[in-house]
Amino acid sequence: MLAQLYLEGLSRGDFEPVFRALLGETAPLSAGSITRLKEEWQGEFEAWRTRRPDTHRYLYLWVDGIYLDAGREEEPPIRSGALLTVVGLNEQGEKELLAMVAGYRESTESWAGVRRDLRERGLNRPLVPD
């Protein structure tokens, strides 16, 4: 849940009241501990985002854009941003999240950037043609 709060864009000042509500008023939280958590999560995300997917062969890839406007109160909902996701089915039959990138809608340009990044990191074409 802490990572979810970070991904939703809560600032350091927003974290403490949320943590206190969840963990109680005596929870040992400080601005420094929240900053350290955010830095740790950013490092983990960066390591995941730049890992090489060429250690597996993928049978199939699913690609989709996820719109994160749930809960917004604007009418009509704003649909300019999408979370572009790529999931691969590896040779062991396991699904693996290969990419998760913020993009502008599901534009050709945004998807081209995701494909280029995966290719540069070593992703091979799936074994089952699309």
pLDDT tens digit string along 31-82? 777 778 778 888 888 898 899 988 889 999 999 998 865 444 454 444 567 8
Q: Is residue 107 over pLDDT 80?
A: yes
pLDDT digits (tens, 9 = 90+) for 3-35: 566 556 666 666 667 777 777 777 776 777 777
Q: For position 78, what pLDDT does the model report?
A: 46
Radius of gyration of the chain from its Cα atoms, rounded to whole angstroms: 18
Cis peptide before 129 (omega within 30 of 0): no
Q: For position 89, what pLDDT does the model report?
A: 94
Stated pTM of the model: 0.67
CB atoms within 10 A of CB 11: 9
Across 102-125, average pLDDT:
90
Q: For position 112, what pLDDT does the model report?
A: 93
List the one residue out of 13, 70, 21, 66 whose CA is nearest residue 38.
13
